[in-house]
Structure 1
Amino acid sequence: MGTLERFSTEEDERPRKFSKLSDDPEEEDAMQIDMGSLLASQDQGNDHPKHAPKKTGKVVRDPKWLVNEDVSTGVLLHLSRYEYGSIASLNRNFLSLIRSGELYRVRRKLGVVEHWVYFSCNILEWEVFDPINGHWMHLPRMPCNPYDCFVFSDKESLAVGTELLVFGRAIEACIVYEYSLLTNKWSHGIQMSVPRCLFASASHGEKAIVAGGSAEGKILSVAELYNSDTKTWEVLPNMNKARKMCSGVFMDGKFYAIGGMGEDGNRLTCGEEYDLDTKEWRVIPNMVPPRIQGPDGPEAPPLVAVVNNVLYAADYAQMVMRKYVKERNNWVYVGGLPEGASSVNGWGYAFRACGDRIVVIGGERTMGGESMVEINSWIPAQGAPQWNLLARRCIGGNFVYNCAVMGC
């Protein structure tokens, strides 16, 4: 295993508690002044104002350090979104600003994006990990009965904008649950025009595309685009080939559906490229990474990830990673994968792009019988693969059912 880059601290183990909003106008104004002085200091980087108030931990009541709303918003844009919960508790103006989603929309336009990993090792439970700062969070439990929702079909997940969408099937119909980063709550999401499972999906900013999948025993070629700002689905032209159990990525501004199973039940080795400008699909032969032999049982969709517009794939059987060469339409060996994590024909193993890095999440059972999950990371821009262990944690399971990366 690579070097241990950072473990979660004891503080990370405790749920964060936010202070109650004050009903005292004077106290609330004082808190706003305190935030203004903090933001003014943050805005100066390492060069603090000569006469800035000292950090005493007390409320600063000097009105001359109260910055205006535009400056406050400008500084908030560049703070870690991990701090937004604490900031929202300072006063109602900041709470309203953060919950409106406007802050994230402006961040997106300015290219200020943080990528966090959301993954589930228990059917209704989700963990969140910030790979830059090493913070852990635990989402509220999904408000549904697992035996009504996720035992009749596979559970799919997709992070887009400030939403985490989880797709499943209840007894009579497909369902969608939506987690909102803005409210920290789950609710029923907007259903696709053609509800399905086992589809390819990927997001880019506030938009996401789903393609293919299976519905009522039929393998589909249907594709749809979701806009998280408007919460609407738009039906796109059908793919050239119907496919399920495929993977999706965005690369060079285009969407790709890779691999999967075709209508005849055979494994597809091609991919398809969707151009959002021309609204056309193009088949790309041999886009699926090679393998020595197939598994004995059902195989997971291709484990693929795109970093800096370069496509990478994980071979779970040989525990190696390959890179796709667009100009030659072939795959080349890059290096090995982190040791220790196990999978079942690729299931239970997460291989995801997370900003400028690739993260691998996998589990193993310790000698003491505990289920341990490890998160490893590699930044391609830094050279040949050298995996860094970002975190190791017992979370009650070591099989990764779902994983998505939210960038906002």
Structure 2
Amino acid sequence: MLEGRSCLISRPLPNSCEQESNWAFMPCRRIEVSNGKRHLEGEGEEELRQRKLSKSSDASQIEETTRQLQNLSQPSEDQFDCELHRGDQSDSNSLNQPICHNISMNCPLDIRQREVMSKNLHDFSSSPADQSNESGSRQRHGNQSDLDSLIQPIGRDISINCLLFCSRSDYGSLASLNRSFRSLIRSGELYKERRKKGLIEHWVYFSCHLLEWEAFDPIRRRWMHLPRMPANECFMWADKESLAVGTELLVFGKEVTSQVIYRYSILTNSWSSGLEMNAPRCLFGSASLGEIAILAGGSESQGRVLSSAELYNSETGTWETLPSMKKARRMCSGVFMDGKFYVIGGISDDAEALSSGEEYDLKSRSWREIPNMYPIQNGANGGTAPPLVAVVQNQLYAADCAENEVKKYIKESNSWVTVGRLPERAVSMNGWGLAFRACGSQLIVIGGPRALAGGIVELNSWSPNEGPPQWELLASKHSPNFVYNCAVMGC
């Protein structure tokens, strides 16, 4: 009945490389059934074989494509600091033929796309004189397609889908290939798409020196130095906090009557001044969820304890004032759990140690107080460090430095149970100098023994779903100081 007419059919690519279905118009042909198999009229055995081959691509092919991209260049620790800015100024045709060939042959494409790619690869292998003539022709006609295609033989969209599966450790190297890659990396587009697909890598950022920060990649176990922070006395003598949100690291410093915020961007590998909060504060509780973060409580420049809260959006760089908490508190801690923001512990405006917590519902924009949520008073009782808490897989854990234990929060009974010990060499001064953070599906503890000549900073990790704590030493290094600040960035 439909013979000779046109209709719309779906030709999906493998999910590992292209998530959306591609649609194409083609004339309908009569379907014949023989030996239990259906055939389109005029379709030969060779065409059937090719159709089957095109559908057999699976996730292993995208893994090979990713491997080829990762092998373009493996940066050393020193290279990391400058690769993002170097950026070869050539166009996309600077990609050599072996790279294009390896990526194109391993990316799951259908037969039609492979034929187009083969033609493009043939163009790449033409003589230098031919390439020069072709380049001149393109310039005369103002053709800018080479700047948009990234890996030209497979096109921009598939290029981006392949790049999503590369480790973000490789993005600095990729940004140095040419202007197209550099522009893509610095735009942040890859990180937005990675978040949509749940492709998130967590790096640890911490400071053991007043103006110096380091990053640690727990997957490749690599140390990386960030550019030095701009000099400012407020970071030399006053309390400061840090927070990782989206693709930014925020560092907060307190001056006499105001606050200073410095923002480090992984897209540009540089520091800049951040936009001041609506109600500047220090010693607050904070946590991030994707591209947003919430800061609550703390104290103002004159020392008054605050109950106010604000939401920061790293995509727009703006602050939004939220409803105030039930109680004013400073030196508290914040976490996200089950899609809600929690403030835990702290000290009230009359210097009373607080064991309560508060839950903020982003949908209803309201706070709910939770009495006796944090009876572990290793920090609050002594008026020292805020509670050391972290959430992994929507489960809340706390480090009890007084007992050198790890405890887990039981939501149903609003109580805590001991699950095991902290690393033996994770020492602190009443909770100060020790970092206790969630890093993806693992808990990490950063700290180490001290000596007269300095000390050691160790990074230990444990996956809570694997029984009692069995801490794995990821890395260690000599440091003259404690860990001043620590944040984990997932993107």
Indicate whether the TM-score tops 0.5.
yes
Partner of 2:213: 126
Amino acid at match of 1:199: F
Partner amino acid for 1:356?
Answer: S
Q: Equivalences for 1:329-408 in 2 at 5 Å?
A: 329-365=414-450, 369-394=453-478, 396-408=479-491
Q: Which of the numbers 13, 25, 31 marks the counterpart of 2:95?
A: 31
User: Does residue 273 of the first structure (1) align with residue 359 of the second (2)?
Assistant: yes
* Greater C-alpha Rg: 2
Which residue type is aligned with residue 95 of structure 2? M
Give 3-state SS (helix, strand or coil) of 1:150's partner.
helix
Cα distance in 1, alignment partners of residues 428 and 244 from structure 2: 23
Range with greater deviation from structure 2 (317-326 or 380-389): 380-389
Shift of the 22–348 alpha-carbon distance from structure 1 to 2, 3 Å rule, reads: closer
Q: Specify the alignment match of 1:104 in structure 2.
A: 191
Over 3 Å counting, the alpha-carbon distance change for 1:39 and 1:256 in structure 2 is farther
Aligned to 2:33: none
**Does residue 302 of the first structure (1) align with residue 366 of the second (2)?**
no
Return closer, same or farther for 1:35/1:198 CA change in 2, 3 Å cut-off: farther
2:176 maps to what in 1?
A: 89
Counterpart CA distance in 2 for 1:42 and 1:160 is 35
Shift of 1:38: 5.1
Q: Is 1:326 aligned with 2:411?
A: yes
Q: Give secondary structure in 2 for the equivalent of 1:66.
A: helix
Q: Distance in 1 between matches of 2:161 and 2:209?
A: 39
Q: What are the residue-to-residue correspondences of 1:136-155 with 2, within 5 Å?
A: 136-145=223-232, 148-151=233-236, 153-155=238-240
Give yes or no for the alignment of 1:203 onto 2:203. Answer: no
**1:110-154: CA deviations, max 9, x gaps?**
111111000001110001011122121110000123xx2224531
Unmatched tracts of structure 1, length 5 or more: 1-10, 45-49, 51-59
Q: Which of 98-107 and 353-362 deviates more?
A: 98-107
CA contact (8 A) 1:304 1:313 kept: yes
Unmatched tracts of structure 2, length 5 or more: 1-74, 109-113, 115-122, 127-150
Give the TM-score normalised by structure 1: 0.87
Residue type at the aligned position of 2:490: G
In the TM superposition, 1:212-251 aligns within 5 A as: 212-215=297-300, 216-251=302-337
Q: Using the alignment, how far apart are the partners of 1:24 and 1:263 within structure 2? A: 60
Contact 1:12 1:135 in 2 (8 A): no
Shift in alpha-carbon separation, 1:31–1:225, aligned structure 2, 3 A: same
Q: Kindly state the Cα deviation for residue 14 of structure 1 after the two structures are TM-superposed.
A: 4.0
CA change 1:265–1:285 in 2 (3 A) is same
Task: Provide the rounded CA distance (Å) in 2 between the counterparts of 1:240 and 1:116.
Answer: 34
Q: Does 1:162 align with 2:247?
A: yes
Q: Is the 8 A contact 2:354 2:380 kept in 1?
A: no
Q: How far does the alpha carbon of each residue in 1:196-229 deviate from its partner, in whole angstroms, 9 at most, with x for none?
A: 0000000000000000000021000000100000
CA distance in 2, matches of 1:296, 1:272: 19
Amino acid in structure 2 at the alignment position of 1:158: L
- Pair 1:288 & 2:374 matched: yes
Q: Distance in 1 between matches of 2:88 and 2:273?
A: 32
For residues 165 and 414 of structure 2, the distance between their equivalents in structure 1, rounded to whole angstroms, comes to: 39
Q: Are the equivalent residues in 2 in contact too, given 1:37–1:67 (CA < 8 A)?
A: no
Q: Is the 8 A contact 1:125 1:142 kept in 2?
A: yes
Q: CA deviation at 1:170?
A: 2.9
CA–CA distance in structure 2, aligned partners of residues 20 and 61 of structure 1:
25
Structure 2 CA distance for aligned equivalents of residues 13 and 113 of structure 1 = 21
Distance 1:73 1:324, change over 3 A: same
Q: Which sits farther off after the overlay, 102-111 or 256-265? A: 102-111
- In terms of mean alpha carbon deviation, does 101-110 or 35-44 score higher? 35-44
Q: TM-score w.r.t. structure 2 length? A: 0.73
Code of the aligned partner of 1:208: A
Query: What do you get for the CA RMSD once the two structures are aligned?
Result: 2.8
The CA deviation at 1:22 is 4.1
For residues 460 and 76 of structure 2, the distance between their equivalents in structure 1, rounded to whole angstroms, comes to 18
Aligned to 1:245, the other structure's residue is in SS state coil
- What amino acid maps onto 1:403 in structure 2? C
Worse-superposed segment, 230-239 or 16-25? 16-25
Going from structure 1 to structure 2, the CA distance change for 1:96 and 1:294 (only over 3 Å counts) comes to closer
Query: C-alpha displacement at 1:13, in angstroms?
Result: 5.2
Q: Is the 8 A contact 2:243 2:287 kept in 1?
A: yes
Separation (CA, whole Å) in 1 of partners of 2:392 and 2:286: 16
1:111 and 1:141 map into 2 onto residues whose CA distance is 31
Going from structure 1 to structure 2, the CA distance change for 1:302 and 1:24 (only over 3 Å counts) comes to closer
- Asked if 1 retains the 8 angstrom alpha-carbon contact of 2:348 and 2:354, the reply is yes
Structure 2 distance, partners of 1:376, 1:111, is 25
Task: Tell me the distance in 2 between the aligned counterparts of 1:326 and 1:295.
Answer: 21
8 Å Cα contact 1:314/1:322 also seen in 2:
yes
Contact 1:32–1:66 (CA<8 Å) still a contact in 2? no
Do the aligned residues in 1 keep the contact of 2:90 with 2:178 (CA within 8 Å)?
A: no
Structure number with higher helix proportion: 2
- TM-superposed CA distance for 1:382, in Å, is 2.0
